A and B are shown apart, each in its own frame.
Chain A
Amino acid sequence: MREFYGTTLANGFMLGTAQYPSPAILADAFKRSGASVATVSLRRESGQDRAGQDFWQMIQGLGVHVLPNTAGCHTVKEAVTTAHMAREVFDTKWIKLEVIGEEDTLQPDVFGLVEAARILTEDGFQVFPYTTEDLVVADRLLHAGCEVLMPWGAPIGSGKGLNNVFGLRAMRAHFPDVPLVIDAGLGLPSQAAAAMEMGFDAVLLNTAVAKAGDPAAMALAFAQAVAAGTLAAQADPMEPRDMAAPSTPVIGKAFLS
């Protein structure tokens, strides 16, 4: 498995921590998922409820790598400031960099993304940029210092799966040595398996598990799909072909007509 900034993960399953019906269900889903990474965020804290303190206690108990995000940031300045705050609070150089450019699709502002990635990399961050499958943008991000890329499968929370299989395959082929994570848009385990079969190194998802009727069961289903897809990719899948090819040998077949 490719390393993520020098870290080898136990598996290619990264799971978000938002939108679960309760903290207990969140913890249960993580337990069943075996996910190696949990994404987290930062929000305003008040002295009255101290919600963030309880949440942090629980996350620490999960025993997974923590990947803070800059979700909701629309400008380079916002994203960079948020990254600095996340580094201090979560005590990690990892940052899932999101610079949102469009409200309906939540697609990244790739121009701001590249700029923010450069600023943060120069400041010692290890950036996981939430990007598109655009090869030119990917190249710019690598030049900005990113050593991991996270192309979207489909818009965040849409559950549409892998919208542009051709583009994602091209990205995988174009950057054979770069750790690539499908981030966002996955709705079903089969889509996660497909991503891993294509040779992606990990999938990052949240809504598909958190909004399932039984999040813990769905977390396990995704874990099994990721494992199956990973194994399939390692097993070197056959090449598809247009015409049929008999799998049963025809030589020696009885002549019966």
Chain B
Amino acid sequence: MKLMLNGTAREIDAQTLADVLVAEGLGTAKVATAVNGSFVPAGLRATTDLRDGDAVEIVAPMQGG
């Protein structure tokens, strides 16, 4: 499936948002997710189906002021 993952066009073998996290090695990581600009809670990742062209954002804790 063709996705925009964190702003980069990627071809990823995935059906759901949870699949993307596993494929990226972030299956158990401390991250939050959004699809097409909308927040997707962790509990809904496994049931959030993706389509070609979807924009997926995966974010994690980072330094901030």
Contacts and interface: CB of A to CB of B under 8 A. Distances in A.
Interface of A: 16-20, 26, 39-48, 50-53, 55-56, 59, 68-69, 71, 77, 81, 84-86, 88-90, 156-157, 184, 206-207
B29 A81 contact: no
A45 B59 contact: yes
B65 A89 contact: no
Given A42-B32, A47-B29, 19 more contacts: A19-B65, A26-B63, A41-B61, A41-B62, A41-B63, A45-B6, A46-B6, A48-B25, A52-B30, A52-B60, A56-B60, A56-B61, A81-B34, A81-B37, A84-B32, A84-B41, A85-B32, A88-B41, A89-B59
Given A42-B32, A81-B39, A90 B6 contact: no
B33 interface: yes
A45 B64 contact: no
A171 B26 CA distance: 46
A40 B25 contact: no
B5 to A, nearest CB: 9
Interface string B27-43: 00111111001110110
Contacts of B38: 81
The CB with the most chain A CB atoms within 10 A, among B34, B37, B39, B60, is that of B60
13 contacts: A17-B64, A26-B63, A41-B64, A42-B60, A43-B59, A45-B58, A52-B62, A56-B60, A59-B61, A69-B65, A85-B33, A89-B31, A89-B32
Contacts of A184: 65
A40 B61 CA distance: 7
Contact of B64 (A16, A51, A53, A207): A16
B33 A55 contact: no
A3 B64 CA distance: 23
Contacts of B58: 44-45
Contacts of B42: 88
A99 to B, nearest CB: 15
